[in-house]
Copies of this chain bind each other. A is one copy, B any other.
Amino acid sequence: MIKKILIANRGEIAVRVMRSCKEMNIATVAVYSEADRTSRHVLYADEAICIGPAPSKDSYLVIDNLIAAAKQTGADAIHPGYGFLSESSDFARRCAKEGIIWIGPSPEAMEMMGDKITARKTMIEAGVPVVPGVQHDLSLEEAKKVIKEIGYPVIVKASAGGGGKGMRVIRKDEEIEEAYNTAKSEALSSFANGTLYIEKYIENPHHIEFQILGDNFGNVIHLCERECSVQRRHQKIVEESPSPMMTADLRKDMGEKAIMAAKAVNYSGAGTIEFLVDDNKNYYFLEMNTRLQVEHPITEEVLRIDLVKEQINVANNLPLRLHQEDIVQRGHAIECRICAEDTENNFMPSPGIIQQLTEPLGIGTRVDNYVYEGYEIPIFYDPMIGKLIVWATTRAYAIKRMRRVLFEYKITGIKTNINYLRRIMDASDFLRGKYDTGFIEKNSEFLLDEHYEGSQDETEDIAIIAAYMDYILNLEENATKTTDNRVISKWREFGKRNAMLRI
């Protein structure tokens, strides 16, 4: 049985994994870059090893350093979290070679799913629907013929691509040639691989994914769906489960296909099959994520399971504890990703020192966090500082609870997307559960409206009063300055004095 796990990650996912380890009496090893000495995951772990300078490529992405840290501390397993090396089959293979348990699927499964064309071929063979299209490299002439067969709109994509690079949508004949050529040159320059393929373009699809769980004995179950269509530039912002567009039949059908997909690559551990779903509930395999996902907590809340514990059990070579018939969604869960970013300034990242932080608590509230008051968010990594997850008996209650939770979340010192998230919870498309991946674009004006709630004048006056009172008290304090080296700042002292006695 695994006794000590090195978490090859940072931030909230590192802390989240450690929480489950602690509950299983498994010792934890944090790794950290030089910029992360004060990150919560270092403070939380039983042991901590510095693995290099701040840039990821010199620390969190250096396999040799991670393996050395595991050796030094005697960790018998590595959990990769998400991002960084979590989908690196090289890392998984190296772990196996070094006799360290990799908490994830086999390197072979990762590779088959990692390459888009191989994944697509495998899915077709397994009987999982894929977007109509052609998966091998095409000349311009061949492309024209294929497009005629599929019908508009279509998309040309770089096989090795990702994140919108090397992609072009084509809506009519005249666009084919230019789109083909630019996609090809972008693919060559970005990925050094000019292979293109052509697919039917699904306009503003729903992004719906199925969590699956497999063990080393060939058992695979699905843990139902997550609706992830609230995306901005392919970045998920809000996720919910169940999906408001899902039906019992469709769930059963897609779930079975997700299981087939996972079985086709002998998948073991936790993974996600992402589907595109059009408005007629036609669904197509998009890709498989061979790791835990950011939005895994909403599945945990509606099913009341702990996915990290299940991952560790599978890594311990135990058969699945759960059977498909045990899996019943109850109630509704929503997750909001809190990011240090300036929504009013083109979502520019906003790192900095957290001056004051109040996290929401109470019934139905889960916060997967890692920041704290006084912590400086480093400039080197992802701007996501935590996740708010609520559960309630119905979708309508869950939305109301999320509003309450967003109201309670207070942070100063950096800018965050809290206001923006709050507006999503008021957008009528979201409230009605009628939205797809076009949601953010369609509602952008409403979501960024500055004159959004309440009288602007009244709240402006409140802001003026707060600043003005602080200014006045500063003047007073400077006039009566005392040497004061108590740890509690004079501001707090003032608060106390003011409340309990009199100014």
Contact = CB atoms under 8 A, between A and B. Distances in A.
Interface residues on A, range: 35 or more
Interface string A294-329: 000100100011100000000000000000000000
B477 A485 contact: yes
A331 interface: yes
A284 interface: no
A403 B373 CA distance: 24
Contacts of A358: 372
Interface in A479-503: 485, 487-489, 491-492, 495-496, 499-500
A346 interface: no
A365 interface: yes
A200 to B, nearest CB: 39
Contacts of A489: 487, 489
A23 interface: yes
Interface stretch (A14-22, A112-120, A234-242): A14-22
Given A23-B404, A38-B499, A304-B393, A368 B361 contact: yes
Contacts of A474: 485
Interface in A352-407: 353, 355, 358-359, 361-369, 372-374, 376, 391-393, 397, 400-401, 403-404, 407
A331 B301 CA distance: 13
Given A374-B492, A495-B38, A496-B374, A365 B362 contact: no
A404 B304 contact: no
A477 B483 CA distance: 12
A500 B376 contact: yes
A97 B66 CA distance: 72
A245 interface: no
Contacts of A25: 400
A23 to B, nearest CB: 5
Contacts of A22: 403-404, 407
Given A306-B364, A393-B304, A488 B374 contact: yes
A498 B397 CA distance: 45
A313 to B, nearest CB: 12
B367 A37 contact: no
A19 B366 contact: no
A330 interface: yes
Interface string A80-107: 0000000000000000000000000000
Interface string A44-56: 0000000000000
A106 B22 CA distance: 47
A326 to B, nearest CB: 11
A232 to B, nearest CB: 26
A500 B23 contact: no
A366 B373 contact: no
A22 B407 CA distance: 10
A24 interface: yes
A72 interface: no
6 contacts: A16-B363, A19-B404, A362-B368, A365-B366, A376-B496, A474-B485
Per CB-CB distance, the 4 closest pairs between chain A and chain B, nearest first, are A374-B492, A38-B499, A489-B489, A361-B367
Given A297-B363, A362-B366, 20 more contacts: A15-B362, A16-B362, A19-B404, A20-B363, A22-B404, A304-B393, A305-B393, A306-B364, A353-B488, A353-B492, A355-B488, A359-B361, A361-B368, A361-B369, A362-B367, A363-B368, A374-B496, A376-B499, A477-B485, A487-B489
